[in-house]
Structure 1
Amino acid sequence: MSSLLHITNGDSFTTKLKSLKLKGDIITWREMLCEGKTLTNVGSESFWKTRFEFLNKNYKISKSRFIELTLKEYRSLCNHKKQDKIVLWFEYDLFCQINMLAVISWLMAHRPYAEISLVCSGNEDETDRLYGLSELTDAQLLHLYENRTVLTQDDVEFADYVWQLYCSDSPIRLEQLKSYGHYQFSYLADAMATHLKRFPTIKNGLNDIENHVLQLAINEKPTSKREFLGIILKNQGLYGYGDTQYERTIARLRPLFSSLSPVRLTRKGKEILEGKSNYYSSLRDNEAYLGGSLKYNYLYNTASDRILKL
């Protein structure tokens, strides 16, 4: 008799999944590994120490909150040793895809006997819209679950390989991801291409997200910071970030705004957006990591979609 474990992408969907009353226990993966330094050895003491240091410094997460929200749930995952069928519930965006890779890497090391299957939402109808799991109806979720993708050993090893690349000190090899084929990860190549755009551009020293935020300020003319955040979240493409992550982005770019109520750029902000000035030296942070790579040790060339090492 096989036993079943579900691993979800967050609390919101865990609540929804419980209402479907599927067999099996549910574990919520509470991390945001798309931001800050990551180490390859998921779940190790050094891994969690590195993650806590980042979250504490940048999001003021206390040790007690980190233990309560993240480590307790991780320990619960460690204690689920008997389940030989594990279902992963993740989405198309960068936030989810990075977390998914880390979970698969951990499962490869700690649950080598388990059958791992994947439910991944994204393209769910004939439109160009991509859907999160919580946006789907019960019937759509059950259909995805019944048609979930069972990962082969090759798939698992490929996901682990991409995780190792993401955690390496150079993002350059991730450029080749599209040439490897997608295995059974339909959204992974696009997510990694999106990741590379998070490095500062040659054009003005801002990355894709920062340029996009400034452009939305000009195009949409928000009347308040709250409205601005709503517009950014609605128009963020494949990032899958939450409002607290964009709060950090706005704070980092604050000198380029003359006002946040209404939202207006300074003359310098407009010049930087137009590529007439460069903001790299003002933003450079020698402790800012994306995965295993220092963010400001690389530049992104938007003309060629290539990463350059400084």
Structure 2
Amino acid sequence: MSASRTSKSKIFDGRLNLEQQRKRAKELLKSARNRQADAQTRIAAHLPGKSIDDLQLADSQLVIARENGFASWPKLKSHIDRITEHQRQITSGHLPKLDTPETLHLRCGSDIRHGLELAGFAGAFMEFSDPFCQGPVPDVPLPDFIETRARFIASSYRIDFPDALSRLQREYAGLATLGDYDHVVLWFEHDSYDQLILAFLLDFIATLRPQTRLDLICVDRVPGVERFIGLGQLSPELLIWCWDNARAPVSDAMLAFGQKVWPAIRASSPDALRAVIDHGQSPIPCMIAALDRHLRELPDPENGLGLTQQLTLQIIRDHGPITAGKVFGHLMRSYDPLPFLGDLMFWDVLVDMGRTGSPLFTFPDDSAQTPWPDRTLSLTGTGNAVLSGTRNFMELYTGERWVGGIRITGAAAG
């Protein structure tokens, strides 16, 4: 599907070089001894109370290790040694035995498919990528549900409806074959795109009860990746790391939690999902934060904006005039606390924000001939007023959008 994880760019593949890390440690030590403020701040963050006068290379190496997500320098070194060995095996073609041809790798996108093949995984691959984080997710029978989703996808992501419907029907039908495999592994990360799909799959599996071994890989960070956004960032060696270190059996508690969360996502009120979030307990640690981020797409009482809409206006204000593609880059890299959108999904957000009689941002006159990522956005007076809270977007909005099962329309809608 055009809005799936195939559109998320690789930011960092997670490969660490030991010599480079040693060089960084020496540079940090030198900078700290020269009383450079940034170096001193980094030392204080990881070694509170440590005197700069007593600082040794081992101390700066420990800081570098902790900045990379490791408890100690030896653990960083051990990790790099293992990753380097995996890389050597992949390069030489002497791949480790990881799974079997009777294994199925199930992922909400195709972004890791090639990486799994390069790493030596022998199992089949299945994509299920209905993006529940956007569009209506109504509580209706499955055939009607699939048609509703296909109509949204076709309209929002500029896909022919028959193609969208055919693909969704194929993906949903594929789920009925999980019991045909000896081993099914669910590969997911921590954002709402992934976690809402995971909630659906857990609910589905709890009902289907396929006679197969089920494992879950669910990660919110990977050592050596400064800003982990998704599994698609990772090199093949790091996918092996996830397999070795983040894989766990799917428990009855996980299935029961999915059966609780999925109906709450589809509900026409946020109350049930807020109750899950407020309880704060989950057998899937990544899911609570993702559900909270999902509900932050509801209109803010002060300005009527969902969080993505608000951050978009903030980026245009802070950096504009700015192209839509660069707005998306800022959103993914630094502004969004838990980014979840693909590029076409973000374009749909921009289009939807334009459904108002008084625009929040403007385009140049030739925008119709320019690819959307290259179109320049400038904040209007209305956009500034909405962002400051002196006007409410919901009083201007003429469109319709959904947060799960919650339908949102503005006062200006016809």
Instruction: Identify whether the pair has TM-score above 0.5, normalized to the shorter chain.
Output: yes
Task: Compare the two structures and name the one with the higher helix fraction.
Answer: 2
Q: Distance in 2 between matches of 1:213 and 1:170?
A: 26
Unpaired runs of at least 5, structure 1: 298-310
Q: Distance in 2 between matches of 1:2 and 1:263?
A: 49
Q: Secondary structure at the match of 1:31?
A: coil
Q: Distance in 1 between matches of 2:196 and 2:105?
A: 18
1:34-55 per-position Cα deviation (integer Å, ceiling 9, x unaligned): 111224578x212211211222
Partner of 2:128: 29
- Return the match for 1:256 from 360, 367, 372: 360
1:11-57 per-position Cα deviation (integer Å, ceiling 9, x unaligned): 12222222222232211112111111224578x21221121122233
- Return the match for 2:148 from 50, 63, 66: 50
Contact 2:119 2:237 (8 Å CA) reproduced: no
Establish whether residue 18 from structure 1 lines up as the match of residue 117 from structure 2: yes
Partner of 1:283: 397
Give the deviation of 1:125 after TM superposition: 2.7
Partner of 1:184: 283
Q: Distance in 2 between matches of 1:97 and 1:40?
A: 18
Contact 2:257 2:283 (8 Å CA) reproduced: no
Establish whether residue 144 from structure 1 lines up as the match of residue 242 from structure 2: yes
Partner of 1:122: 220
Contact 2:135 2:401 (8 Å CA) reproduced: yes
Give the deviation of 1:127 after TM superposition: 7.4
Task: Compare the two structures and name the one with the higher strand fraction.
Answer: 1
Q: Distance in 2 between matches of 1:203 and 1:127?
A: 36
Q: Distance in 2 between matches of 1:63 and 1:37?
A: 16
1:47-81 per-position Cα deviation (integer Å, ceiling 9, x unaligned): 21121122233333223322453333433343443
Partner of 1:307: none
Give the deviation of 1:179 after TM superposition: 4.7
Q: Secondary structure at the match of 1:12?
A: coil
* Fraction of identical pairs, as percent: 23
Contact 1:14 1:26 (8 Å CA) reproduced: yes
Partner of 2:381: 267
Amino acid at match of 1:162: V
Taking structure 2 as the reference length, the TM-score comes to 0.65
Partner of 1:200: 299
Contact 1:118 1:151 (8 Å CA) reproduced: yes
Change (3 A) 1:18 1:182: farther
Give the deviation of 1:106 after TM superposition: 1.5
User: Which structure: larger Rg?
Assistant: 2
- Provide the alpha-carbon RMSD of the alignment: 2.6
Give the count of matched residue pairs: 295
Taking structure 1 as the reference length, the TM-score comes to 0.85
Contact 2:303 2:386 (8 Å CA) reproduced: yes
Unpaired runs of at least 5, structure 2: 1-99, 365-374
Q: Distance in 1 between matches of 2:216 and 2:286?
A: 12
